[in-house]
Amino acid sequence: MDRSPMPVSALFEVRVLVVEDDADLIESVRRVLPRSFRVTACRSARAAVAIVEAGKFFDVLICGYEMLEMNGRELHSSIADLDAVLARNALVIVSSRLSPEDERYFGDRRVRLIYSPFRSERLREEVEVLATHAMLALYRLERYVIQ
């Protein structure tokens, strides 16, 4: 009998914003995530910021580090100004070396990084952890509002 805990994705609808200018990488991420996840993909970092700015709610942010319009740190910073919870539940896909200042930025904010190439299972596990954090934050907020 398997006693491993049920993933949060089996209990809640998890909304994921994927921001990456590489369409193939977006499709790879979609294939890895559970089908129960509601994935919104943007190939434009500016469009992603506009979506969050317009009030669309997401539980998890997955973005590339190397993008044309703005890099992952710039995107994360823009999102953090709009939605601090989403910014805390971010995963940045890195395929090259980070600059020292970007290393400090992500480290200071405890942003999760995954280096490409990555194993599908590792990406799924990272997103499950972030989805759990998002659900716990929502639970705490609901308890606070109800009391």
CA distance 34 to 71: 27
The answer to whether position 3 is within a domain reads no
Q: What is the pLDDT of residues 77-100, one digit of tens each?
A: 999 999 999 999 999 999 888 999
> Does residue 90 lie within any of the structural domains?
yes
Cα separation values, 18 from 6, 66, 75, 95, 100, Å: 24, 14, 12, 16, 25
CATH number of the domain residue 121 falls in: 3.40.50.2300
Q: How distant, in Å, are the alpha carbons of 20, 24, 48, 63 from that of 42?
A: 6, 12, 6, 9
Instruction: Specify if 5 maps to a domain.
Output: no
As a whole number, mean pLDDT of residues 98-109 equals 94
The predicted structure's pLDDT at residue 136: 80
The structure's pTM equals: 0.86
- For the chain, the straight-line distance linking the first and the last C-alpha, in angstroms and rounded, comes to 39
Domains: count for the chain: 1
- Rounded Cα distance between 8 and 70, Å, is 31
In the block, residue with structure tokens 């977006």: 26
Cα dist. 73→37, 67, 76, 98 in Å?
25, 10, 5, 10
Assigned domain for 98 exists: yes
Rounded to the nearest 10°, the torsion over CA 16, 106, 128, 126 is: 120
* Domain boundaries, position 78: 10-146
2 found inside a domain: no
More confident residue, 96 or 4: 96
